[in-house]
Amino acid sequence: MDSSARQKDSLAERLERIDRRVVYLLIALALSLPIIFGWKLPPAEMETADSFFRVVDELQPQQGKIVLIASDWGPGTQAENKPQTMIAMEHLMRKRIPFALISITPYAAPFLESMPRDIKEKLEAETPGETWNYGTDWINFGYRPGLIIMIQGLAKASDLHEVLKTDVSGTPLADLSIMDGVHTIRDISMLMEFTGLVSAFNYWVQFFQADGYRPPFVHGCTSITIPEAYIYYVSKQIVGLYEGVAGAAWYETLLTKKYPGRESGTALKINTSLAVAHVVIIALMILGNIGFLVRRGDS
């Protein structure tokens, strides 16, 4: 083997066997640069998120009706589920549609407290004079254990006040005006469910229905569960879907189009970082394959 062939071989070998720590470093850089420099790429248009936006936008505030937001995620998937939940919540708050927060995951509890308050602060800063208040614009039922037993109990309840009794801080539901007239599943005008767990999503699909009624159901999943969640969208069991953080980023674009003065959230930032990292991953895959093909050609 002459020296040029040896050189070619070693280059191909190096391309094929890039140290994993170098790959990690490149990925970390690719993800960090857009955050450091504040780059924002326009997100891809998504029909599923379009549909999510449309059904929420068509919803009108009605006395005695609330939207139920099942926020079944914790710190592990907050990168995707938090922007999703917040953007949907913001849309509801802007439309003055009251909503209730609930979770079957204990790790969601702090987020159920902080998210609506963060949005309230943002909206009140944006529109001086207007206020959003706990108990009239939203309510927090907190973490409710029991999984399917709890979900089925909610769906079949003849009076939700009896089943839930109090909000997260122990205030009786009768003392909170948002719950006036809200008694059964039929008073829930929409169910929004955000999770990284397929099983949590399945529980709501399977058990949150009673007497032939199931509220329109929209869902936000993490990227890893998109292929599974898509089945439910195609079969119309859900009428809107956030496909990971990319779905939230597109939703954010739609919301900014509708409310031009709004300050954009984190979904666009994360989505841009992901796009750059994907380019790096694809480039690494191509390089690895070139190395493999060159070596195979030589041998």
Partner 1 sequence: MNSAETALFGLPWWQAFVGGICTIAIFSFLYKENPFYRFFEHLYIGIATGIGVMATINTFLWPTVLKPMVGADRIPFPDGTYAEPYNEFYLLYLIPIAFGSLYYFILSRKHNWLAQLVIGFTLGYGGGLAFKATFNEMLPQLEDSFRPLYVAQQGAQSGIDWLATLSNLVFLFTLLTALSYFFFTFRRSEGGPAEKSALAGRWMMMGCFGAFFGATIMARMALLVERLEFLINKWFPLFFA
Contacts with partner 1, residue ranges (CB under 8 A): 21, 24, 27-28, 31-32, 35-36, 76-80, 106-107, 109, 142-146, 148, 152, 165-166, 168, 170, 196, 202-203, 205-207, 209, 222-227, 231-232, 234-237, 244-246, 266, 269-270, 273-274, 277-278, 281
The least CB distance from residue 184 to partner 1, in Å, is 18
**For partner 1, which is the closer residue by CB, 189 or 225?**
225
**For partner 1, which is the closer residue by CB, 79 or 157?**
79
Residue 126 DSSP class: H
**Residues 265, 83 contacting (CB under 8 angstroms):** yes
Q: Are strands 217-221 and 188-195 parallel, antiparallel or unpaired?
A: parallel
Q: In the structure encoding, which two tokens stand for residue 154, read together?
A: 């909610």
**For partner 1, which is the closer residue by CB, 11 or 168?**
168
Rounded Cα distance between 262 and 268, Å, is 13
Residue 135 DSSP class: T
The least CB distance from residue 138 to partner 1, in Å, is 18
Q: How many residues does the chain have?
A: 299
**For partner 1, which is the closer residue by CB, 48 or 209?**
209
> Would you put residue 96 in left (φ > 0), alpha (ψ -120 to 50) or beta?
left
- Cα 207 to Cα 143, 165, 188, 202: the distances in Å are 18, 21, 15, 8
Helix (H) or strand (E) holding 218: strand 217-221
The residue with tokens 């984190």 is: 266
Residue 150 DSSP class: H
Rounded Cα distance between 135 and 146, Å, is 25
**For partner 1, which is the closer residue by CB, 90 or 167?**
167
The least CB distance from residue 256 to partner 1, in Å, is 20
The least CB distance from residue 7 to partner 1, in Å, is 30
**For partner 1, which is the closer residue by CB, 15 or 276?**
276
The least CB distance from residue 59 to partner 1, in Å, is 22
The least CB distance from residue 130 to partner 1, in Å, is 28
The least CB distance from residue 34 to partner 1, in Å, is 9
Q: Strand ranges (DSSP E) for 82-187?
A: 99-103, 138-143
**For partner 1, which is the closer residue by CB, 132 or 138?**
138
